[in-house]
Amino acid sequence: MIIEENVPLKNYTSYKTGGMAKYFVMCYNNDDLRQALDFAYSNKLDYEVIGGGSNLLVSDDGYNGLIICTAKLNRYIINYGNNIVKCGAGINLADLVYYTCSNGLSGMESMAGIPGSTGGAVKMNAGAYNQEIKDTNVKAALMDKNGSILIKTNEEIGYGYRLSSGTNGYIVLWAEFLYGRKEHEELLKTRKEILEKRKEKQPLHKPSCGSVFKRPERNYAGTLIEKCGLKGCRIGGAEVSLKHANFILNEDNAISSDIYNLILHIQKTVYDKTGIKLEPEVRMIGFKK
């Protein structure tokens, strides 16, 4: 385990923005993670855990503590047979989806194209096109702040819409999934169709965090933003996508404050015009509350 100092976090987020982390560590296994937590405790440091950085906005001021990165943590996939697969937290969700489809395991094919790590996907109950992580996840191993490991079942994980309340305060180490069966050709075809649909409907040509806001009850964030005339709205180098209004793009060398202020502007405008308060899906680090 190597603790680095003054690491630019823009290199670890899909937005390609953000200031420096005072301390940074990439964890490859559970022992690395324990040592990182011990370093934070011993030095009285605040810490934040990040995964693939695809759903993350880091302040331009950076983070004055320890960033623990799990993007390469436990990078393995174990197929136990009987439709059960164990996947380490650092495996890209896209790679897990491809693996399961190729092996005739159904239940994740509609999640093709969702960025980020499997650990992050468990944390936020990632999903798309009527499939969510909770549908196949049967249990997950979690580490607490003291380095102790416990295993929680699907029910104990407490899945909800873009959350898993039972993982709050814990770091995901691995997750185990139970799938259905289908012909792999059919699953790979579905995966390809989903990827094409994403390419058609979503702006994938510029850095973004994917969907910025959660879906309001009985409505869609993108629809509300568009109805409020905010498509193409710009602050600094950040712009509301003309293709999909629930995407904010790093269109032209944006900094995090551009994106953050655009998020606030969207929230205020939509609330003023509709009475609906949009809740960000993107996680924010280093911003003053």
pLDDT computed for residue 221 by the predictor: 97
pLDDT computed for residue 1 by the predictor: 86
My answer on whether 100 and 191 are in the same domain is yes
The domain total for the chain is 3
Q: Which residue has the tokens 């770091």?
A: 171
Q: Which residue has the tokens 């559970």?
A: 30
| Stretch 161-177: mean pLDDT | 96
Q: Output the CA torsion sign for 40, 43, 44, 45.
A: negative
Closest to 126 (Cα-Cα) out of 152, 159, 104, 151 = 159
My answer on whether 65 and 117 are in the same domain is no
Helix (H, G, I), strand (E, B) or coil at 242: coil
My answer on whether 162 and 124 are in the same domain is yes
Closest to 100 (Cα-Cα) out of 7, 188, 15 = 188
Residue 31 inside a domain? The answer is yes
Q: Which residues are catalytic?
A: 162, 211, 281
pLDDT of 78-93, one tens digit each?
999 999 999 999 999 9
CATH number, position 244 = 3.90.78.10
Q: 221 vs 115, 133, 276, CA distance in Å?
A: 20, 21, 10
Residues of the domain holding 13: 3-69
pTM of the model: 0.94
Helix (H, G, I), strand (E, B) or coil at 51: coil
CATH number, position 85 = 3.30.465.10
